[in-house]
Structure 1
């Protein structure tokens, strides 16, 4: 075709109904050269059974059922099996706008040193109805912007919010992600594995932000982040500190803003007493 192959990779887990909706949104893409990689970490066969007619009709869909539960390693398996030049993760409860890939890949083709393209994402409920944005999903800009990668990373870090987007939101070149997905500076993140990947990419180049809703982020009680536990939020403090090695939060003022944002988020929870003490020690050392 002459167009680079894009791999849409889906780490699936026990959600055949929403997975079917997600797959349909990929099959409706206006960009023609796409493969779909599904790595199934489910505890039963419902996903596999739902996929039977798809696998018969669409050769671009590749399905792999894990022999054991891989959890975060399933994300790595998806990445390894992808053969495309570009990768877009797709959560099995999210969906894509039909022009998402076409509109995003334009920027890789037309501009240099782009390592990440993201957009506004529309929040939806369990039945697909639109929801108002939450803090992290609020529209960042009203116009399309090409941004210094470290500047966009700093926006997320200083707010202690993943304003860049969930895994579904971002398109990137496979070769640009040199650490495993969700690994940053040698540490595997779980709650913010997406942000870990984005910082790795943003440290290498520029980002594009598109204000159109090019993906749909489903919010429901059974989301993976709701099962990881409150203590996993400590990952934010770890990644703030680690990010300075890559030139994020490169002034004491930015670093202090990030630390205070984190402190404000956790100050009413007794589980974070040690984190607050750690922040106090860091702030004292910066004086």
Structure 2
């Protein structure tokens, strides 16, 4: 594991018609993160709590145990759950919150995924994302000077499509935090359509959303202090995608019935703002990859 971690791997290299490298999957050598960390956080996604035919209770308990062990061991400041917390049930959001996530030993934040639905009934405990979690589905926080922008890409119940993030809202957050040492964006659905510049499956695809999503991509790739974009949704991907000098990270999945090894992603920042990230194979132990955030 240690030797493979230090080896440069390239899962795919994709050329444009001009012959220039447009984007690629990369796994780089170990990040030079200092021993004294200013911030250490985790990202996990796709719990699919409540999906029939899966041991969703156990898989969720496993996640809570993994994250609490990280907290007890090397330390962990917060956790982001990057979408598809549940599997098409508003009641499951409450069960997940009260039966499982309440056992986490650190603060956590939830991003709305395409399987996360509220019932929109006035006065209901699941009337809205804010009624459940205490903040809206488009939400921004600052921790130790670093900014985290959480964007909603989910459509209404059973709409069967993926949405572009709200570019206007994103641009406002990026402008307000332009002096932050780093911004991180958490967006469940990748904003580039499958196949464009070689991007993988499960991105925005509806005709009325593709152009809007490309405008979001332009914004992401023109924000100087945006140091990483984190996606869930694609259960098969655990690595980093580079496009327009921006880095996009995937964290596999925790639950559901398909995908790569279950796990989560760690991001570490030292006092000099040097940043590194790696994917944890939580089922078997060890790291799958390690990359710089530059």
Task: Flag the structure with higher helix content.
Answer: 1
Fold equivalence (TM over 0.5): no
* TM-score normalised by length of structure 1: 0.29
Larger radius of gyration: 1
Q: Which has the higher contact order (CA 8 A, sep 6+)?
A: 2
TM-score of the aligned structures, taking structure 2 as reference length: 0.28
